[in-house]
Amino acid sequence: MATIRDVARLAGVSVATVSRVINKTDSVNPETAGQVMKAIEQLQYEPNAVARGLAGKKMGIIALILPDILNPFFPALARGVEDVAHKKGLTVILGNSDDLGLKESSYIKVLKKKYVDGFIFASNTIHEEDVEALRKEQIPIVLLDRGLNTASCAVIRSNNREGSKLAVKHLIEQGCQKIAHIYGPQELITARERMLGYEEIAGRLREYSPSLMEQGDFDIESGRKAVEQLLVRHPDLDGIFAGNDLMAVGALKALHERGIRVPEQVKVCGFDGIGLTEITEPELTTIAQPVYEMGGLAAQILLDEIESGIRENKLIELDVTLIPRKSTHKEES
Amino acid sequence: MATIRDVARLAGVSVATVSRVINKTDSVNPETAGQVMKAIEQLQYEPNAVARGLAGKKMGIIALILPDILNPFFPALARGVEDVAHKKGLTVILGNSDDLGLKESSYIKVLKKKYVDGFIFASNTIHEEDVEALRKEQIPIVLLDRGLNTASCAVIRSNNREGSKLAVKHLIEQGCQKIAHIYGPQELITARERMLGYEEIAGRLREYSPSLMEQGDFDIESGRKAVEQLLVRHPDLDGIFAGNDLMAVGALKALHERGIRVPEQVKVCGFDGIGLTEITEPELTTIAQPVYEMGGLAAQILLDEIESGIRENKLIELDVTLIPRKSTHKEES
DNA sequence: CTGAAAGCGCTAACAG
DNA sequence: CTGTTAGCGCTTTCAG
């Protein structure tokens, strides 16, 4: 592997000059530059990223810390991040935090030592101090689905409240009158927002009652259990809005087990728009988030910040869209 | 951030000594070592990974190149890799190759410059030359699901042929007599092996015919299409063994659309054991690969190789297991 | 067992 | 516009 020295020698210039033409960091006489370029070509020279990193404190790597890549929500996010990073020549380090603050801290600690250029946290448990610490060291961060309180960096999320309202309105349009909601863990702002959206619309219904809400954990099993509870209290419910798709799948399962037909007797709507929703029977109506785009956008903002050195601090809220499918289909009368 | 120099100064020794106690690379007087340790504690010293990388050509990073993290087979693999890597203090870079040889080469090029310690390729299109090149540079590699021809590094895969035999035998036990097979792209050794396993067992059936096989692309849509073709030729088939779970899901969909009941009229079995198989209706019988374990093992072997510097070159074939579910359930008579 | 010093390959003042 | 040189922080001979 040729080094910058080899290039300098062959081109008959100093390493500084070579560095300049590579990084366009200073003007260089076009002719000299030409010589250098030629030498680079000839030697097939490629700058060593590690040496560069040591000198400049940037390795051309961004870190993506998410709860668990096994959760079907995250692969699309990861892909979104990776695609834009790769396009810009950066690489992505993946970390699974399991929503453990400690694991997040541990990733941060290790990755800082590797001079990663920036962090994207899609994790729900980052310690405020960790964010502050990174901020202080001028390491760019982008947060996904976090509250406003952490106003010291860019935050991306989708419009959860509006999405919920969309969902409930849709259920009503399809003829539902008694709509239950399975909400996610209330530590998560997304879960809270979705619940609020539900209450805002469902609260107006004659049949509404707070007991139409039941907690879940954003996983399939909890969705199933929640429905079992709900059916005890409200055997006559005719619509279920689950706080995410996994719980909606669980709901579908519970209903199926009980011989309750979807959508004829009960209509079900999820949230997220993950691929699973297309393979259930019936296919699941859902509020789709632009997950891939969110990942791409997060990466984009992060890269901009890395390049410019300017912190953006903005909160971006993306629109969601209703994808009507069989599970909420209105029977023609 | 304290440097090794600070530690040396505080401990009253040379940097070389500090380096020695950190890396246990040479014996040091226990007392001196103690001093050094104390200094390290006091200064909260953490060695800089990039400087280390530049000096030693290893960044404590491994690269995982797979076709597409969006394919539900890969998250578990990635998680397996990441978990063991993280346990050993290494980090994982993720690359999506889309099974494009060019993209793989591009990842290799970029990552070599970053002194990654090793590569895991779960991708199907690595150029033989690329592998050889890495080999020559002594960069450890582990391959997943590759043929034997690339005998120059460790290869992990699961016993696809036996798995297929298991599947077909199971279908026969459940009463199937005319079993079709949807096979995957024949460039993939996994797809070929599964097909061979099918032929070996199904070939003995009275009703067997080569026209019971139809090609698919390992995705849902192709599974659906394949079944449509198969039903034209063999309206009376009573079992389908799909080369992977996604195609099995497609098969389920096609059958459902045609009003053919599973498992009563046709039984369906998939291959892989991805999570999707638990949420279809009916739930899908499948041959499960230990995907998470495969990832963990790949990482383990890679790390061993990185640490020892000894190439292992072994081929490891993991066992698969039949997971019987509703989609192949035999009706009690 | 320990220290001095030469890199690893590149960037970024600082002169000129 | 260009060259010299001092780091970045650590590892690793080579002496002692």
Nearest residue in A to B90, CA atom: A110
The model's pLDDT over A126-141, given as tens digits with 9 standing for 90+, comes to 888 888 899 889 999 9
The model's pLDDT over A83-101, given as tens digits with 9 standing for 90+, comes to 999 999 999 999 999 999 9
Question: What's residue B150's pLDDT?
Answer: 59
pTM: 0.95
How far off is chain B from A160, nearest CA to CA, in Å? 23
Question: Which residues of chain A lie closer than 8 angstroms to B276, CB-CB?
Answer: 276, 279
Q: Are B299 and B84 in contact (CB under 8 A)?
A: yes
How far off is chain A from B122, nearest CA to CA, in Å? 16
The model's pLDDT over A63-87, given as tens digits with 9 standing for 90+, comes to 999 999 999 999 999 999 999 999 9
One DSSP character per residue, A265-313 reads T-EEEEEE--GGGGTSSSPPEEEE--HHHHHHHHHHHHHHHHHH-----
User: Quick one: pLDDT band at residue B333, thresholds 50, 70, 90?
Assistant: low
Q: Is the CB of A21 under 7 A from strand C?
A: no
Smallest CA–C1' separation from A55, nucleotide: D8
Residue B89 has pLDDT above 90, yes or no: yes
Contact A279 B109 (CB under 8 A): no
Closest CA to B241 of B287, B190, B186, B278: B287
Which residues are within 8 A (CB) of A308 and not within 5 positions of it... i.e. 6 or more apart? Answer: none
Residue B8 has pLDDT above 70, yes or no: yes
B-proximal residues of A, 99-158, CB under 8 Å: 107, 109-111, 113-115
Closest CA to A260 of A172, A171, A327: A327
Question: Which residues of chain A lie closer than 8 angstroms to B46, CB-CB?
Answer: 109, 113
Question: What's residue A27's pLDDT?
Answer: 87
Q: Is the CB of B55 under 7 A from strand C?
A: yes
The residue of B44, B46, B50, B111 whose CB has the most chain A CBs within 10 angstroms, and thus the best one to mutate to test that interface, is B50
Residue B312 has pLDDT above 90, yes or no: no
The model's pLDDT over B161-203, given as tens digits with 9 standing for 90+, comes to 999 999 999 999 999 999 999 999 999 999 999 999 999 999 9
| Protein-strand D interface by C-beta, 7 A | A 12-17, 20, 26-29, 31-33, 51, 54-55; B 1, 3-5, 15-16, 19-20, 22-23, 25, 45, 47-48, 51-52, 54-56
User: Quick one: pLDDT band at residue A149, thresholds 50, 70, 90?
Assistant: low
pLDDT above 90 coverage of chain A, percent:
86
Q: Are A152 and A135 in contact (CB under 8 A)?
A: yes
Question: Which residues of chain A lie closer than 8 angstroms to B326, CB-CB?
Answer: none
Angstrom distance, B17 CA to D9 C1': 15
Cα distance between residue B24 and residue B36, in whole Å:
12
Contact A54 B54 (CB under 8 A): yes
Contact A279 B115 (CB under 8 A): no
User: Quick one: pLDDT band at residue B127, thresholds 50, 70, 90?
Assistant: confident
Residue B321 has pLDDT above 80, yes or no: yes
Angstrom distance, B14 CA to D15 C1': 15
CB neighbour class for B235 (10 Å; exposed up to 12, middle 13-18, buried from 19): exposed
Residue B85 has pLDDT above 70, yes or no: yes
Cα distance between residue A247 and residue A215, in whole Å:
10
Nearest residue in B to A254, CA atom: B279
Q: Is the CB of B16 under 7 A from strand C?
A: yes
Residue B146 has pLDDT above 80, yes or no: no
pLDDT above 90 coverage of chain B, percent:
86
Residue A112 has pLDDT above 60, yes or no: yes
Closest CA to B15 of B36, B38, B29, B44: B36
How far off is chain B from A261, nearest CA to CA, in Å? 13
Please list the residues that pair with A63 across neighbouring strands: A93, A119
**Range of weakest confidence among A95-99, A201-205, A306-310, B45-49:** A306-310
CB of B284 within 8 Å of a chain A CB? The answer is no
Question: What's residue A150's pLDDT?
Answer: 59
Question: What's residue A147's pLDDT?
Answer: 67
- Residues 248-307 in A having a C-beta less than 7 A from any atom of strand C are none
**Range of weakest confidence among A1-5, A165-169, A300-304, A312-316:** A312-316
User: Quick one: pLDDT band at residue A260, thresholds 50, 70, 90?
Assistant: very high
Question: Which residues of chain B lie closer than 8 angstroms to A74, CB-CB?
Answer: 75
Question: What's residue B168's pLDDT?
Answer: 98
Task: Output DSSP code: residue B275.
Answer: G
**Range of weakest confidence among A180-184, A223-227, B126-130:** B126-130
CB atoms within 10 A of CB B149: 8
Contact A46 B113 (CB under 8 A): yes
Q: Is the CB of B26 under 7 A from strand C?
A: yes
Question: What's residue B147's pLDDT?
Answer: 67
The pLDDT mean for chain A works out to 94
Q: Is the CB of A54 under 7 A from strand C?
A: yes
Angstrom distance, A115 CA to C14 C1': 27
What positions of strand D are covered by protein, i.e. any atom < 7 Å from a CB?
Answer: 1-5, 7-13
Which residues are within 8 A (CB) of B79 and not within 5 positions of it... i.e. 6 or more apart? Answer: A68, A69, A70, A96, B292, B295
The pLDDT mean for chain B works out to 94
Alpha carbon of A18 to those of A46, A54, B46, B91, B137: distances in Å?
Answer: 12, 18, 33, 32, 27
B-proximal residues of A, 156-215, CB under 8 Å: none
pLDDT above 70 coverage of chain B, percent:
98
Q: Are A280 and A72 in contact (CB under 8 A)?
A: no
Question: What's residue B313's pLDDT?
Answer: 83
Which residue from A75, A82, A113 is facing B75, i.e. has the nearest CB?
A75
Question: What's residue B299's pLDDT?
Answer: 97
**Range of weakest confidence among A117-131, A212-226, B38-52:** A117-131
What is the layout of strands, in order, in the sheet containing A315-318?
A315-318, A154-158, A141-144, A118-121, A61-66, A91-96, B91-96, B61-66, B118-121, B141-144, B154-158, B315-318
**Range of weakest confidence among A124-133, A148-157, B310-319:** A148-157
